[in-house]
Amino acid sequence: MNYPNLRKKKISVIIPACNEEYRLPTALKFLQVIRRVEYPNLEIIVSINGSHNPKALKLIAQQNGAKAIHSAKGPSAARNAGALASSGEILIFMDADVLLKPGVISRIAGLVKENTVGTCTAYPDIINVKTLLLVWGKNFVRSSGLLKGMSELVFCHRSLFIEKKIGFDPQMKLGEIHDFFSRAIKGAQAKYIYIHTPMSECWKFSVNRYERNGYIKTLMFWVRWWFFTQLLKRDSKPFEQEYWITVEPD
């Protein structure tokens, strides 16, 4: 799908980076391809936060055509700092293990208007029965709107940050993307959109944590988190501690 007239819209891709020396270069190389063959008006920002070697991340960013900034520790603070340092009309927040294919950026540019938040179809970096079942479930949850923030790539219009002053909560260590979407939709009447993309025009995410910790164990963690924190409105602190110790260790 081609949107030649919409390439005038500047898009900023913001990547929070903490100890991502190994995964970040590949993600940036994919973005460089997009900027060269699909969407020249693309700004790439690496928001370094709490890393053991920030100089190495800054060098990687500069060598791969990205702007490097420093923020307070935590992915939410890094996303907020990246948004404030950006100049794009549309903001895309993605993790360092996300690999974007040509086509995604143009689709986002064609659909995002003021007060818009959303995500799009994802595919795993390893294809087998387990990963396909996993990605079908995650894409179903996202497309249905049951849990909007379960994604390593999200986008929004700049107006939410600048005019509506709705950013990511730096105090949250888990579920901060779902919280951002909820506040944008309820507080700013933002519209949530889900973009369906084929495998040829998609973004891929790493299944490393599922391979390391087990698919069922990892999925059951998120089911428990959703049931107790979203339905029963229980304190999320126990889940934050469990997540950062067992599910996503440093």
3-state secondary structure of 225: helix
pLDDT for 1 equals: 46
CB 68 within 8 A of CB 128: no
pLDDT for 246 equals: 64
Q: What is the pTM of this model?
A: 0.91
Tell me the C-alpha distance between 52 and 237, whole Å.
25
* Residue located via tokens 């999925």: 219
pLDDT for 42 equals: 96
CB 6 within 8 A of CB 89: no
pLDDT for 192 equals: 93
Q: DSSP string covering 69-99, please?
A: EE--SSHHHHHHHHHHH---SEEEEE-TT-E
218 Rama sector, left if φ>0, alpha if ψ -120 to 50, beta otherwise = alpha
pLDDT tens-digit series, residues 196-235? 888 777 788 888 888 888 888 888 888 898 889 888 888 8
Radius of gyration over alpha carbons of the chain, in Å?
17
Residue by residue, pLDDT tens for the chain (250 residues) are: 444 455 579 999 999 999 999 999 999 999 999 999 999 999 999 999 988 999 999 999 999 999 999 999 999 999 999 999 999 999 999 999 999 988 999 999 999 999 899 999 888 888 888 888 888 888 888 888 777 777 889 999 999 998 999 999 999 888 899 899 999 999 899 999 999 888 777 788 888 888 888 888 888 888 898 889 888 888 888 888 888 776 565 4
pLDDT for 154 equals: 94
Sheet holding 42-48, edge to edge: 67-70, 42-48, 11-17, 90-94, 153-157, 116-120, 191-195
Tell me the C-alpha distance between 92 and 160, whole Å.
13
Question: Residue 29: what residue type?
Answer: K
pLDDT tens-digit series, residues 72-95? 999 999 999 999 999 999 999 999
pLDDT for 156 equals: 95
pLDDT for 8 equals: 76
pLDDT for 155 equals: 96
Tokens of 72: 């307070």
